Structure 1
Amino acid sequence: MTTIAVLGGGSLGLLLAGKLKASGCSCVLWTRTDSQAALVNSVGITIEDHTGNSLNSVTIHACSLEEVTSSDNRVVLLAVKQTALTSELLTKLASIIPVGGALVLFQNGVGHVELLEQALPGRRLIVAVTTEGAHRLDATTVRHTGHGETRLSDNSDIDPHLLSFLEQSLKQAGFSAFLSKELGEAILRKLLINAIINPLTAIMRIRNGELTKSAARLELMKALFDETLDILRDYGLGKQSEAELWDTVLNVCSATSHNESSMLQDVVLHKETEIEYINGAICRIATQQGKQAPWNEAVTALIKAIN
């Protein structure tokens, strides 16, 4: 049986590892600290539903990334934020993932695929876009705050058996998983959604569902949405109408109403956020297009000032 290694002990990493292992998949967790690995090995991973009720308590083997010397032909799910993709981490990945090895990328924003292609030549990179909501409560406990969809790039250069294995493993774990030949559109759609929800919830210190609870907040969301959509249209976002995309943003707020966005979680914990890879990236795209992006510039500056 192929073993899946989940790299990252944050919200998404704990959720993926816990649910995969609970479903019977062969799965291990690679953490970035010895202390978290020791705790997971001692008590396992606990998964809660959005109300705080315990769904699973899962025994799983964990080890710190420093302890890993070889990927042993594993499939690695990279469940860390773009801020974690340091030169040290990339060098470590190059040493443990052999040429031909597979890495599934769960990062938000844009730019990470090109970075990993350059750092890991010859590896099979599979882009994943997920709208699952998760909140890490402590080093071993994660709350599944919202169900979403996970799409994997159906790349003709990737072994179809591997893609099928990943899709079926995620489905077996209870995720809504699909292969997509048009993942570029999904990446830009998620970038649009993240550019609205993440910075505004972080600035206002509110959960996703609270964004739509007043006319003033909706007006602010719409202004940021209109500016961002205009920029991303010229960047390749073209399948859905403006009305459909606006409804998508509102539906994500509703479906993940209990979720604290990853950016809000980072701000509360005084961690570096992904603002440069989301709204900051949109500002850079706008500059390339000769456009102004005052709303995106404002939220980027505010998040940086908070940090």
Structure 2
Amino acid sequence: MDKIAVLGGGSLGLLLAGKMVASGCDCELWTRTGDQAALLNRNGLTIVEQTGGEVRKVNIRAIPIEQATLSENGIVLVAVKQTAFTPELLERLAEIVPDGGTLVLFQNGVGHRQLLTHGLPGRKLVMAITTEGALRINETTVRHTGIGETTIGELEIATNVIRSVERMLKQAGFTVLLSKQLEEAIMRKLLVNAVINPLTAILRLRNGELTESTGRLNAMKALFQESFGILSLYGLKNERELWNIVLKVCADTRLNESSMLQDVTAHRETEVEFINGAICRMAADKGKEAPWNNAVTALVKAIH
């Protein structure tokens, strides 16, 4: 199973597709617009590496989503944000991805698995969690701003599918972990995103700048403690370890602009409702309040 498609011409989609093509994988990129596909096919995709500023240009096959096709056993890495899952996109994916096809979901937050399970019955869904940092410079250029890890896995998916995804991502140079406890990993990523993303978006800071003052650290800690307290009601453990992970992500991706910051800067709708908004709803379901999460959700939405 050597053919793979990446859906999404944003930061993560360009990074995934570019690195896989550069490593020799048979990969194509599905874009939202024909204009971006034409630019990529004509000019290639440029990857700017974090270390040393190395620049690589790869020739990539880009296809507008309305022209895309997929074989019966094909794999799609879904690298669009949750806000992109409109009824129109789900309808188009239902036309493209046949029964038996596999979608690897890279979205932040929670709720997308349930949405796609309902909207795309019969397809295999693999959850993916990544801390890779990427920044789209323009429609054909992406900067790899932070080296992270990607965790994948889903118990009901055949082992050979998971292994194929793992092999291709590793071949592209990504660090990949397989997990049989993905629910915990999803909650951990939700916690990290709930702290870093809204604060960077509101304060207009890169990830590493969050830890550079006492005031910012205090805000991070307050938002972290509230979010962990809610998620602990759903089984999340190891508060001290997770706080250190939040700090490590800030350090490892210090030059990265979070996806939420990129969205507010570009005046796009953000994923805050699927991250901090989701924690607010989880709190309400347990009869709890989440004032910090309510506040940052309202502020990010007000910016948009």
Aligned mates of 2:229, 2:44 — CA distance in 1: 46
Which residue does 2:29 correspond to in 1?
Answer: 29
Task: Give me the whole-angstrom Cα distance separating, in 2, the residues matched to 1:226 and 1:163.
Answer: 34
Structure-2 residue corresponding to 1:6 = 6
Name the counterpart of 1:195. Answer: 194
Query: What is the RMSD computed on CA atoms of the aligned residues?
Result: 1.1
Preserved CA contact (<8 Å) 1:52 1:143: no
Deviations 1:153-207 (A, max 9, x none): 142x212111111111111100001211011111000000000000000000010
Q: TM-score of the superposition, structure 1-length normalised?
A: 0.97
Residue pairs, 1:242-253, within 5 angstroms: 242-253=239-250
CA distance 1:72–1:31, change in 2 (3 Å): farther
Q: CA deviation at 1:2?
A: 2.2
- Tell me, what secondary structure is at the counterpart of 2:126? strand
State, as a whole percentage, how many aligned pairs show the same letter. 62
Structure 1 residue ranges, 4+ long, deviating more than 6 angstroms after superposition: none
List alignment gaps of at least 5 residues for structure 2: none
**Of 276, 280, 283, the match for 2:277:** 280
Q: Secondary structure at the match of 1:227?
A: helix
2:72–2:99: 8 Å Cα contact kept in structure 1? no
CA contact (8 A) 1:70 1:95 kept: no
**Which of 283, 287, 290 lines up with 1:290 in the alignment?**
287
Number of aligned pairs?
Answer: 304
Q: 2: distance between equivalents of 1:298 and 1:218?
A: 17
Offset at 1:70?
Answer: 4.1
CA contact 1:109–1:277 (8 Å) conserved in 2: yes
Per-residue CA deviation, residues 244-270 of structure 1 (Å, 9 max, x unaligned), is 111000000000000000000000000
What SS does structure 1 have at the residue aligned with 2:121?
Answer: coil
Corresponding residue number in structure 1 for 2:178: 179
Whether the aligned pair in 1 keeps the contact of 2:130 and 2:148 (CA below 8 Å) is: yes
Conservation of the 8 A alpha-carbon contact between 2:82 and 2:112 = yes
**2 CA distance for matches of 1:7 and 1:178?**
22
Segments of 5+ residues of structure 1 without an aligned counterpart are: none
Distance 1:51 1:128 in 2: 25
Corresponding position: 1:264 with 2:261 = yes
Q: Matched residues in 2 for 1:26 and 1:70: separation?
A: 13
- Measured in 1, the distance between the counterparts of 2:13 and 2:145 equals 14
Q: Write the distance in 2 (CA, Å) between the matches of 1:96 and 1:61.
A: 17
**Is the 8 Å Cα contact of residues 230 and 283 (structure 2) preserved in structure 1?**
yes
Query: Which residue in the other structure is 1:93 paired with?
Result: 93
Paired residues of 2:125 and 2:154 also in contact (CA < 8 A): no
**TM-score, normalization: structure 2?**
0.98
Partners of 1:72 and 1:118 in 2: how far apart?
A: 20
